[in-house]
Amino acid sequence: MEARLKFRETQIGKQFYKNMLANEAVLHHGPAPVATMELMKIRASQINGCGHCVDMHVKDAAYAGETSERLALVAAWREAPYFTEPERAALALTEEACRLADEPGGVSDEVWAEVQKHYDDEQAAALVAALAQINAWNRINVTLRNPAGGYDPAEKAKRYKSTP
C-alpha cells in the first residue's frame, strides 16, 4: 500500500507540514497534559478511521508509558474505570468536536461545561487547538491513504527533547 500522493515532497505540502509541526510543538510544550492530548488524538483518529494516525499515537502513548488497558479502552471509554474526570471531559469534547458533519448542534453546552469544570481557559484553548490539529492530520492521511504501521515513536520523542 502506498500513499496516493507524497504530500511532503510537494512544495505546498512541505511548507504546510512544517507549520503544522510547529503548532504541535507549541501544544506539546503548552498548558494541557500531553497524555490527555494523546488520548484525544487516538479517539479522533479512530472516529475518522485514520490508520496512520492511530498507529502513530498509540505508539507515542505507549512509548510515554501509557498502559495497554487504557489504550484498548479509548475506543469505548465511557464504562471503563481507567479514565479520570478531566480525561473523560476531554474525550467527550473530542467525540462531539469530531462529529461535526451535517450536525447543527456541534459541541453541546453540557460537554463544554464539563471541559470548563476541569480546565482553565489556557488549557481549554490548547485542547481545542489539539483537536483542530488532529482533525487536519486525519483529513490529510485518510484522503491520501497514507499507510500505517511504519511509525517509530523514538524519533518524535527525541525531537521534543532537543527543542524544549
51 is an interface residue for another protein by CB under 8 A: yes
Vertex 117 angle, CA 109 and 61, to 5°? 100
| H helices, E strands: number in the chain | 8, 0
Q: Which is nearer to another protein, 11 or 68 (CB)?
A: 68
- Sorted by sequence, the CB contacts under 8 Å of residue 132 that are 6+ apart come out as none
Instruction: Classify residue 7 by its DSSP letter.
Output: G
C-alpha separations of 41 from 2, 10, 66, 92, 162 in Å: 23, 26, 14, 12, 23
Q: Which is nearer to another protein, 150 or 164 (CB)?
A: 150
106 is an interface residue for another protein by CB under 8 A: no
Q: Per CB under 8 A, which of residues 10..49 are in contact with another protein?
A: 45-46, 48-49
- CB of 132 vs another protein, minimal distance in Å: 19
Q: Which is nearer to another protein, 45 or 133 (CB)?
A: 45
98 is an interface residue for another protein by CB under 8 A: no
**Which residues bind to another protein, rule: CB under 8 A?**
1, 45-46, 48-55, 58, 68-69, 71-73, 75-82, 141, 145-149
